[in-house]
Amino acid sequence: MKKMGKFEREEAVVMEILAKGKENIDHYDRLTLLAIYQVPFHDSGKIEDLFSCDSSCNHCGFCKRIRENTEKNPAVICNYCYDNEQEQRWKTVMNRHGLQLLIMSSVEFTREELATLRIFNICRFNSSGDIENVTMAKNYLNIAFSHPGVKFALWAKNVSPVIKATDEIGKPENCIYIQSSIIIGIPARKAKYFDYVFTVYPDENTLQEALANGAMECNGKKCKDCKFKCYTGAWLAGANIAELLRLPKNKEASRSVIIDAMKKTLERLNK
C-alpha cells in the first residue's frame, strides 16, 4: 500500500470530521480543521507581501456554472481564468485549494476559533476561486472581525452569499468588498455593500476610454507598488478599477473576437 502523504492524511481527517454531520462537530473538531486550513504568505507575484484565504475555481460550484453556461461567449472573463491554468498545471494546488474551500464552506466557525489563524498586516480573500455559499462568506467576514488589526479585501463575482452574510452579521470595518465584473469591458452594477467594481478590458483602446471616463488604473501592477489601495480604501468611493486583459502571445489574435463579443453582449443588455 502506498504511504499517504501530508495532504492525503489531512484530507482524510477533514472528511472524517465532516462525515459526523454539522450538529456533531465540536469545538475540538473545528480547531482541528483550522489547523489544517492554510493561509499562505506570498513573497512574490502580484500579491507579494500579502496573505490570502483561497477558494478553487475547479471546486467552486459558482465558477463551474459560469464556465459551463458561458463558454460560447468569448467576452466572459472566466474563459481566461488564470486560476484554472494554475490548478490544471499543478494538481497539488488544485487539491489544496479544493480542501480550503471545503473547510470554509462546510462548517461555520466562531470568531474565537478563527482568531487562531495566523494572519498579519494585509490579506486577500479569493486570490483564487470564488465564494461557494453563505457559510463560506460568513467565515470570511468573521475572519476579518477576529483580526481587527489586519486590512482585508474580498473579491467576488458571486455576490449574493456575501450580501446575505453581511445582512446577517454585519460588514467588518477592516474589509473592503470588490465585485469582479463577469463580462470583459462591461463594469458590473455595484451590488449592496460592495465598495468597488473590478473590470478587465479587452485592449488598450477600451482601457484608455474607461480611464478617461473615471476608472482607476490597476493594470496588473503589484499591489505593493500601488500602495495597497484596494485594501486601504484609497480609491474614490464606488470606483471601477480597470485592468488590461492579459493573454499569452499565441492567443493575442483573439482580442478582436473578444471585443466583438463584448459589443454584442452590451447591445443585448441595452435592449
231-259 residue pLDDT tens: 999 999 999 999 999 887 777 878 999 99
The candidate with the shortest Cα–Cα distance to 136, out of 178, 170, 164, 176, is 164
Q: Residue range 28-49: average pLDDT?
A: 95
pLDDT of 269 reads: 85
56-83 residue pLDDT tens: 988 889 998 888 877 788 999 998 887 7
2-11 residue pLDDT tens: 677 899 999 9
Helix/strand/coil (H, E, C) string of 141-199? HHHHHHCCCCEEEEEECCCHHHHHHHHHHCCCCCEEEEEECCECCCCCCCCCCCCEEEE
pLDDT of 2 reads: 66
169-185 residue pLDDT tens: 999 999 999 999 999 99
- In whole numbers, what is the pLDDT of the chain averaged over residues? 93
pTM above 0.85, yes or no: yes
Helix/strand/coil (H, E, C) string of 66-133? HHHHHCCCCCEHHHHCHHHHHHHHCHHHHHHHHHHHHHHHHCCCCHHHHCCCCCCCEEEECCCCCCCC
CB of 242 closer than 8 Å to CB of 201? yes
The candidate with the shortest Cα–Cα distance to 254, out of 187, 186, 184, is 184
Whether 1 shows a pLDDT value over 70: the answer reads no
Query: Which residues pair with residue 244 across a beta bridge?
Result: 201
What secondary structure letter does DSSP report for 206? H
Q: Residue range 155-171: average pLDDT?
A: 98
Q: Residue range 23-51: average pLDDT?
A: 96
pLDDT of 71 reads: 72
88-144 residue pLDDT tens: 777 888 889 999 999 999 999 999 999 999 999 999 999 999 999 999 999 999 999
Kindly state the percentage of the chain with pLDDT values over 90.
78
What secondary structure letter does DSSP report for 232? H
Query: What are the grid coordinates assigned to 79, written together?
Result: 474563459
CB of 207 closer than 8 Å to CB of 201? yes
pLDDT of 133 reads: 98
Sequence-distant (6+) residues with CB within 8 A of 161 are 131, 132, 133, 134, 136, 137
